[in-house]
Amino acid sequence: MATTLAHLNTCAAEEFVCLVGPVFEHSPWIAAAVADARPFASREILHAAMCETVRAAAEGRRLSLIRAHPDLVGRAILTAESNREQAGAGLMQLTPEETALFDRYNSQYKARFGFPFVICARKNKKDAILRAFPERLAHTREEEIAAALDQIFQIATLRLADLIP
């Protein structure tokens, strides 16, 4: 549902959180944290404020944000946004072998890092995502937290652009 920056800047805080909250997967606390910083001069400044809120959050809160994301090709019920993003990356039309490979990579990744693999599906297709798993499995936990947050910020950029064309 598209809206305008002018509307977001003037609506009640509760409506702002309701509209902007889904930009970060199951994490409306980020929108709530920036609601009082309105008005925002641009979509980019709103995005920067939200990303800064995440960066300034305690590690546990950042990990909760990463853990709010579903496994790629997982069995979880997806948000409408995640469903569109995974479908656009070709993840809904996999062979049984590809599904098994995703399952194996997801399991290895979660066992190693304790959170799901996050990648901006709208900027990657199935083959690129499959290539990214082994590369990112070689990261340290700290490197991977940073990589996951970077991907989440990219996802948020695109979701915010959908919300505020």
Residues annotated as catalytic are 69
Residue (of 14, 51, 52, 54) closest to 35 by Cα position: 14
Q: At what angle do helices 59-67 and 141-163 cross, to 10 degrees?
A: 60
Task: Evaluate whether 147 touches 139 at the Cβ level (below 8 Å).
Answer: yes
* Structure tokens, 114: 């304790």
What contacts 24+ positions apart, CB below 8 Å, involve 90-95? 90/125, 90/126, 91/121, 91/126, 91/129, 94/126
